[in-house]
Chain A
Amino acid sequence: MDEPVLSVAGFAALQRLARLRLSAEEAARLRPQLEAILGYVRRLEALDAESAEAGEEAAAPLRPDEPRPGLSPGEALAAAPDASEGFFRVPRVLKGPGA
């Protein structure tokens, strides 16, 4: 794992996974910074000789599954960039003959 982990193609795929579009200029600036960060955190490999166990993550307690007051539909939609008839509006997702 000593070669760069982020090829140009790999970095483009990473942007897709992160749902984040970078301009060419941004990508050229951020990719080497990200390489440096990922290179630095590899020092954690030195701990492999120790048998530290992470243990299980504590599960958050659950409250009873009972209705309780919440936001009204109007309040929940108030900050939406585009809402209509009680729904958040988004671009068409499904493609078909009628699209």
Chain B
Amino acid sequence: MSLTIWSSAAEIRDAVAGGEVSCAEVARLSLDRVSARNPPLNALLRVTEARALARAAELDALCARGGALPPLAGVPLVVKDNLCTRGERTTCASRILEDYEPPYDATAVSRLEGAGALLLGKANLDEFGMGSTGENSAFGPTLNPWDPARVPGGSSSGAAAAVASGMVPCALGSDTGGSVRQPAAFCGLYGLRPTYGRVSRYGLVAFASSLDQVGPLARTARDAFLAFAAISGPDPADSTSLPDPPEPLEPPAPRLEGLRVGLLADQLGADVDPEVRALVAGAAERLRAGGAEVREAALPHAGYGVATYYVLAPAECSSNLARFDGVRYGLREPREELLEQYEASRGAGFGDEVKRRVLAGTFVLSAGYRGAFYERARRARAAIAADFARAFAEVDLLLGPTTPGPAFPLGREGGDPLSLYLCDVFTIPPALAGLPALSVPCGFTAAGLPVGAQLVGRRLEERTLFRAAGFLEEALGLAGRHPS
């Protein structure tokens, strides 16, 4: 068998379709890698071996009968543990859902399995998707495969670490304010936040419903595109999913002719790590050399993004998480009085970051403060969306850093959550505007840490993002580099 743990989803699919390898063999290769690498990294909360092997056996039987294989046949993957999996625990890395087994699959999960993927496990995360380090998991932090003293980013921490360490070629995460793109940048991966509504959220445990999107992380641009295409399209079970038909599986050619790229120069200022600045500027130069027209662009209100997000996301979180009350599912702390039981169950079941956001959200929606906080934030969101609309009248893509710096050491928060919120400064604005955004590897620091550049596109123009990403992937030649 010529496949290795670093083979791409596209290579695995071709090898399976060509009869070179069985789905069961591919599953075994991945499961062995999980056994070796998961104990130190804590990327996966659970391994769903029986489910993966059962799907592999079905596909191998189909192949033996000469049947046509689905497009991702035999591709192993993992999904963030806030995506529901029927009969497999789905914890959101929270004590309050520690034993929860959903009675249904998320649409994104069932679409991937329908396309032939093998679900190998459920990935660690910051509790309910709230955090940017992976440290807010009730089941322990995930480590960065490039440097285990550092965070992998979050909140899709385990998904990123599993892909970067060669357990699987791609994974599904969710992105509310950067939770796919930031860990992708910290782990040297492609991470897509699709257009709001492009992928069904049915079965994604809700955090902030005006922002949440499901998106893929992968080691190659093509794999990220394939996974995105497989999960895209309308879903009658999610009334916020867009009616546009699914994305065709064939990726766009990596050609830049006629492409106008706006470099967000004010995102390359003194607050950004000099190595990150240089690598993103280098990516812009590559695009220019490859035939794109690169000019400067600006988003004058983007600096209000973090403040806007940390009003709106907690507000929605306080409402969405009201359902966890120890009645229908999840942890219950029995009390004589119902109200006391709610308070005690939630107090015992939620971690610090979730409590902070539930309280902040309750505050900004409370009588007397709603106008000062929530309504102001809604206006700021509209101003940021208008900035993007103006920029996209001039250019087809925006380019900047995904994060102000590379992955930082574990334990940085030190009781100051606000300082971590500020790390989301570049990933939040496209999320507020509902636009597709892709983090693309653009190089390594001198210390060997990966750095990501963020491409932002117009609504529903994911293909344009992948044109540029495919070009940069070839031009920068980073594909062969893996964590030791």
- Kindly supply a per-residue 1/0 record for chain A positions 39-70, scoring 1 wherever the CB is within 8 Å of any chain B CB and 0 otherwise: 01111110110101111000011110000000
Q: Chain B binding site: helix, strand, loop or mixed by DSSP?
A: helix
Contact of A34 with B347 in the complex, beta carbons under 8 Å: no
Residues in B285-343 with C-beta less than 8 Å from chain A: 301, 304, 306-308, 310-311, 318, 322, 325-332, 334-343
A68 (CB) vs chain B CBs: closest residue: B236
> Which A residues touch B339, using CB under 8 A?
19
Question: Is the contact region of chain A dominated by helix, strand, or loop, or is it mixed?
Answer: loop
A1 proximal to B (CB < 8 A): yes
Known: A44-B307, A47-B379, A48-B376. A38 touches B360 (CB 8 A): yes
Q: Mark A1-17, 1 if CB is under 8 A from B, else 0.
A: 10001100000001111
Q: Give the residue of A14, A29, A53 whose beta carbon is less than 8 angstroms from that of B359.
A: A14
In Å, the complex CA distance between A54 and B384 comes to: 11
Which range holds the interface residue count of chain A?
35 or more
Stretch of B74-82, B123-131, B161-169, B362-370 lying at the A interface: B362-370
Question: What are the interface flags for B337-358 relative to A under an 8 Å C-beta threshold, 1 for contact and 0 otherwise?
Answer: 1111111101100101001101
Do the beta carbons of A62 and B239 come within 8 Å of each other?
Answer: yes
Contact B332 A81 (CB under 8 A): yes
Residue in A closest to B362 when the chains form the complex, CB atoms: A18
B103 within 8 A of A: yes
Q: Is the CB of A79 within 8 A of B359?
A: no
Q: Do B379 and A30 have beta carbons less than 8 Å apart?
A: no
A62 CB to nearest chain B CB (Å)? 7
| Chain A residue nearest to B347 in the complex (CB) | A21
For the complex, give the distance between the alpha carbons of A21 and B311 in Å. Answer: 22
State whether the Cβ of B418 lies closer than 8 Å to any Cβ in chain A: yes
Name 12 interchain pairs, CB-CB below 8 A, sorted by A. Answer: A5-B363, A18-B358, A19-B339, A33-B417, A36-B416, A37-B418, A44-B307, A53-B382, A63-B236, A78-B101, A79-B329, A80-B327
